[in-house]
Amino acid sequence: MKALVTATVIVALALAALVGGVARESRSATPVAPAPVEAEALRAGFASGDTQALVRRLQADVAARGDNAQSFALLGLAYAQRARETGDAAYVSRADRALRRAVKLEPKDFEALTGLGSVALTRHRFRDALALARRAIAAAPGTAAPHGVLGDALLELGRYDAAFAAFDRMAALKPNTSSYARVSYARELRGDVAAAIDAMELALDAAAGRPEAYAWTSVELGKLHWSVGRAARAASFYRLARAARPGYAPALDALARFEAARGRLGRAVTLQRRAVDAVPLPGYVAQLGDLLAATGRTREAREQYDLVAAIEKIEAANGSRIDLESALYRTDRGIRLPETLELARLAHVRRPSIAGDDVLAWTLARNGRCGEARHWSQRSLRLGTRDASFFFHRGMIERCLGRDADARRWFRLALATNPQFSLLWSPTARRYAS
């Protein structure tokens, strides 16, 4: 489901970059307000050009204009964009501070409230995001963007009917890339991948002419095809993303998975390193570790896993709650399983979604508590979602309970859905399916 660089010296350099930012933007630039197209791109959550230069200009604008709510709001949105571009958690904290300053200056500034809601989502503080989205909607009920934040928060809190209604409302108010993508995700969760692809194709059409938006949507469309085993079709969209935005980290990460599924591990490692170098997200780093382990480079793999733990600490220090992702990462790799079970339980309380149900089920199973795990696995499938990992986890639970025939059916369903659903676990599913 959708939400994780080498020797000790390099790890230290990576951590310094994450703590301090890629570069400390100067406030000495000539105050020039952003062009309308730049401001609109920030509001949509995508870059329109050189975001680092834009941040410098916005910092200068804030310094020149003093207590101006809109200036602080745009600066906060630019910091949030830099966080997405760099993986630097410190930018999330800067975005939060700037947006809070905007709200303090203008408590009903729906743009700043929506931005704060998005920051809360980034930090996986979903109840905070829900409250902020409701404030933004109260301030500007006819504006689309707050309904997207509202729906995102409701999804992660397991309130699916309300979330889907919020997405429908967003699309009715403003049919664009963001709203179509959310409608697509709602359809995917319900198990209708064909309809999800239709909506994401509309999102792709709406993103035309905006390179980052087009690249992001291309990757998401590719992932939908990947999720149902259409690997070659998926790769064509990943390449489309790279053509639109060379060096785009999500496309590099996705193509690395494609190359690994084709058995081309050397090419996969090269692509994954480029993704990590561009944006050192925990998921990218973990995947690099897995690829290195698959090629027998155990020491290098261990260094990547150590880096994942270090990045998680930095994210936590900057206010993020990534306990669900951490629990899944550790459970998959058998890391401190009793402790990880407590983490999964906490994550589930905070995030009672189908993803939370599945991670809790899988962690319980890996701890040998398979009867309890089966209950949560059943819960995770209640929407009809077609997720091969969910099916695999259910198969492992049934096998643990001695229901071998049922287990084989779930393993076969996982492989029929996506034969390359996991570098770590697809071989196990193939072994147990026969």
SS (H, E, C) the chain: CCCCCCCHHHHHHHHHHHHHCCCCCCCCCCCCCCCHHHHHHHHHCCCCCCHHHHHHHHHHHHHHHCCCHHHHHHHHHHHHHHHHHHCCHHHHHHHHHHHHHHHHHCCCCHHHHHHHHHHHHHCCCHHHHHHHHHHHHHHCCCCCHHHHHHHHHHHHCCCHHHHHHHHHHHHHHCCCHHHHHHHHHHHHHCCCHHHHHHHHHHHHHHCCCCHHHHHHHHHHHHHHHHHCCCHHHHHHHHHHHHHHCCCCHHHHHHHHHHHHHCCCHHHHHHHHHHHHHHCCCHHHHHHHHHHHHHCCCHHHHHHHHHHHHHHHHHHHHCCCCCHHHHHHHHHHHCCCHHHHHHHHHHHHHHCCCHHHHHHHHHHHHHCCCHHHHHHHHHHHCCCCCCCHHHHHHHHHHHHHCCCHHHHHHHHHHHHHHCCCCCCCCHHHHHHHHC
The pLDDT tens digits of the residues spanning 279-327 come to 999 999 999 999 999 999 999 999 999 999 999 999 999 889 999 999 9
The residue ranking higher by pLDDT, 11 or 157, is 157
pLDDT at residue 61, rounded to an integer:
85
pLDDT at residue 17, rounded to an integer:
25
pLDDT at residue 18, rounded to an integer:
26
Task: Quote the percentage of the chain above a pLDDT of 90.
Answer: 80
Q: Which band of pLDDT confidence, cut at 50, 70 and 90, is reported for residue 10?
A: very low
pLDDT at residue 87, rounded to an integer:
87
The pLDDT tens digits of the residues spanning 53-81 come to 888 888 988 888 878 898 899 999 999 99
The pLDDT tens digits of the residues spanning 138-187 come to 999 999 999 999 999 999 999 999 999 999 999 999 999 999 999 999 99
The mean-pLDDT minimum among 22-26, 85-89, 92-96 falls in 22-26
| Residue 236 reports pLDDT greater than 90 | yes
pLDDT at residue 241, rounded to an integer:
98
The pLDDT tens digits of the residues spanning 381-430 come to 999 999 999 999 999 999 999 999 999 999 999 999 999 999 999 999 99
Task: Quote the percentage of the chain above a pLDDT of 70.
Answer: 89
pLDDT at residue 64, rounded to an integer:
86
Q: What are the structural domains, with CATH classification, of the chain? A: 5-106 (no CATH), 247-313 (1.25.40.10), 322-434 (1.25.40.10)
16-20, 88-92, 225-229 — which one is most confidently predicted on average?
225-229
| Residue 15 reports pLDDT greater than 90 | no
Q: Which band of pLDDT confidence, cut at 50, 70 and 90, is reported for residue 6?
A: very low
Q: Which band of pLDDT confidence, cut at 50, 70 and 90, is reported for residue 23?
A: very low
| Residue 261 reports pLDDT greater than 70 | yes
pLDDT at residue 260, rounded to an integer:
98
Mean pLDDT of 375-381: 98
pLDDT at residue 14, rounded to an integer:
26
| Residue 32 reports pLDDT greater than 60 | no
Mean pLDDT of the chain: 90
Q: Which band of pLDDT confidence, cut at 50, 70 and 90, is reported for residue 97?
A: very high
pLDDT at residue 63, rounded to an integer:
86
pLDDT at residue 30, rounded to an integer:
39
